[in-house]
A and B are shown apart, each in its own frame.
Chain A
């Protein structure tokens, strides 16, 4: 176990190192100078140069990199250029919002995808299968922000049942918090539900064609059990990969959804930080996303081992 964890930690360290170099260079390859971005348009070249020095941008690249990474390993992600707050503190403020929306969205996505994927495989080519396909097509071709706008129009403006946007943490009360989060979570969740449904449907069809299903049928196992025990548990294994990636994308934040629902989440922060060439903030956010992706991957591996005895040691 200790060895296993150590191996995982080494993988994480390696990925983070590679990612940190890449992010660092890519951010600086973007056209535009953060010093100029921070100043009024009539700033003199001398003023701009002074700003560059204040931000440490006059130093050689390797020195800038080492300063940043040196801080990052101690948990100090530097200061934002624009907001002059600590990057770590800004992330700590925004992340819970995105985590909350993502978890609810993922739960909604799975709650839709599991029955839809299983039933459309079971009744392949039937009315239910076609219905799910059409709904999924509409869901995929209707962008999340558009679905978000429509849902605000209906539930907030016309019916007045839900607030049109904003965020309330769970500490403000479950009801109030949920009322704020439900529309964006549904908008995001349904978008991912379509992908996960398709994945589950195709792996269900794959498993249902396998010999052990025929053998179970040959010995009188009821069709319900065949579907939910014999097939579903085997089909879930590849489907979890799709769910894991979805969760990773969700945690990166969704700019448009956050804008429409006025959510102070990670997507907007990243978007704004890129626009303003806020190097430390972009770097910190991307590094966090990479870390989360790697951790989700580890979590998936652990889940596979629980579900699939062939992977267990």
Chain B
């Protein structure tokens, strides 16, 4: 296997609060090859956003990241100083987030927000403007010239999300972290944005970490999928294999809860039971309380292990199957 573009090993994050200590990432490992799309799926609160942000050193405060190695092109991001890290941003690694209304600066024009990112990484104002216009056209935004002078509140939600994607792509990064980029949008706009994102990704040869709580979104554009639960990766497999033959009981439950036929967004129709309280996890498998196959063995640690070529799962039953 060639060296992956991005590899996260044993990432641990921790927050302390009155309710106790929680660890939204409890030893998370994954890797993404150049040009590959890895999906990260799991119920809300399972630690996807914290893990993704911490993996590119954006989680604040940084002291929340207490362990792990983050290799980007063979270099550990955690060992880089602020300047070196900043040099990678936008040009190599970029991010799109869930809420486009909050993700753009309300007092800056779209044009200023786009061009300044381009200029930070070199080039003149005119070049930056040209790149911004080109990208907005490419994002199928009508009247791009006048959009440059607009403020975020003057655009629709779908339009803002396109701008946000443009912001991430303006320096042609090789890795895009997309944290639920379509969750705030309605279904038709979601489909358009997903298609556009996929198209641009192919064009740029960009790798992507696509986060969603929605398996149907993941199924549409990801090569491989990692399923996350209570701060752990529970199963990892090529998308087709995962959807066709899920091996981990949590993945099965997640799949069973996807409404057939519709592609409606929204919180997953309930998997029976509640997601666990991260401050009070049982020993062993965190899915115990909701797992139909729970047995005494489950109180033992369930490390993520190879169960078939290219497939991993964190459950003794998956291994035995």
Contact = CB atoms under 8 A, between A and B. Distances in A.
B58 interface: yes
Given A234-B107, A308-B106, A310-B151, A220 B91 contact: yes
Interface in A192-218: 209-212, 214-218
A309 B107 contact: yes
Nearest to A221: B120
A219 B105 contact: no
A307 interface: yes
Given A230-B108, A308-B107, 19 more contacts: A211-B97, A212-B102, A212-B104, A215-B95, A215-B164, A218-B56, A218-B89, A218-B177, A219-B95, A219-B171, A220-B88, A221-B116, A221-B120, A230-B105, A234-B107, A307-B107, A309-B107, A309-B151, A310-B153
13 contacts: A210-B102, A211-B97, A214-B60, A214-B95, A215-B95, A215-B97, A215-B167, A218-B58, A219-B95, A220-B91, A309-B107, A309-B153, A310-B106
Interface of B is mostly: mixed
Contacts of A173: none
B28 interface: no
Contact of A309 (B94, B95, B106, B121): B106
A221 B94 CA distance: 12
Contact of A220 (B86, B99, B105, B106): B86
B263 interface: no
B43 to A, nearest CB: 21
Nearest to B87: A220
Contacts of B151: 309-310
Interface in A217-246: 217-223, 230, 233-234
Nearest to A233: B107
Interface of A: 209-212, 214-223, 230, 233-234, 307-310
A122 B97 CA distance: 23
Contacts of B86: 220, 222
Given A309-B107, A309-B151, A219 B58 contact: no
Given A222-B86, A309-B153, A234 B56 contact: no
Contacts of A218: 56, 58, 89-90, 93-95, 168, 177
- List the 9 shortest-distance A-B pairs measured between CB atoms, nearest first: A220-B89, A218-B95, A211-B102, A219-B90, A309-B151, A211-B103, A212-B105, A219-B117, A220-B90
